[in-house]
Amino acid sequence: MSRGKLVLFEGLDRTGKTTQSDILVERLQPDVTLIKFPERSTEIGALIDRYLKDKTFELPDQAVHLLFSANRWEMAERIKQLLLQGTHVVLDRYVYSGIAYSAAKHTDKMDRSWCLQPDRGLPRPDLTIFLTSDDAENELRAGFGEERYEKSEFQQEVKRQFIEVFKALEDNSQEQNLVQIINITGKSVEQVANEVWELTEPVVRAPTDSKNTEILYF
């Protein structure tokens, strides 16, 4: 049996990741599970949720980074088991968000390579779709600004960090085309969903060979 595929949506806040992951999950029914990070329902997730919502709740940047990573690790075994039993897993944010948002803070010594270390060994997506928009379009969307990090200047720095992380990880990888970029500017939800499907269909339909039975890892 071929394993399920791991498909990840990344992007800035309010770029439609959640909408697009919901649509993709509908298309991949019935053997598919959606996992969103941060997974706010665990105890670690509850701390993260409080940190994001309560701007007076302070934690050292390093500690926050490790909490986000720990939150992925507590779901890692579940993700592996789902893939091995042939279920596709769609992720709404993951390792790249972890690195991009933390590195954008420019905390001393906390560069991108520091940020990647705690995530080493996590299952690696077969396809990552980065939803991006022309400058600041995401900030006009409803709800922007409610949580920590949802500030114009910071988002631009996160965007820059995302691009750098993708470049660095692609260069070090044997795999090709693991990261695809969709610019959503001026596109309808349906148009973006169609582009997502064009990228995803070949990946989920890939034949069973060794590349498709073994899980990739960061």
User: Given the rule CB under 6 A, which residues bind ligand NYM?
Assistant: 13, 37-38, 52, 68, 93, 97-98, 101, 147, 149
In the bound state with ligand NYM, the residue whose beta carbon lies nearer, of 37 and 204, is: 37
Positive or negative: CA dihedral 191, 195, 198, 204 = negative
Distances (CA, A) of 24 to 33, 115, 210: 10, 29, 25
Closest CA to 95 of 42, 168, 28: 168
Residue 145 Cβ vs ligand NYM, minimum distance, rounded to whole Å = 11
In the bound state with ligand NYM, the residue whose beta carbon lies nearer, of 3 and 51, is: 51
5-24 residues in contact with Mg ion (CB under 5 A) are 13
Does 92 interact with Mg ion (rule: CB under 5 A)? no
Chain center to CA of 205:
22
In the bound state with Mg ion, the residue whose beta carbon lies nearer, of 155 and 200, is: 155
In the bound state with ligand NYM, the residue whose beta carbon lies nearer, of 69 and 200, is: 69
Note the residues at the interface with Mg ion (CB under 5 A). Answer: 13
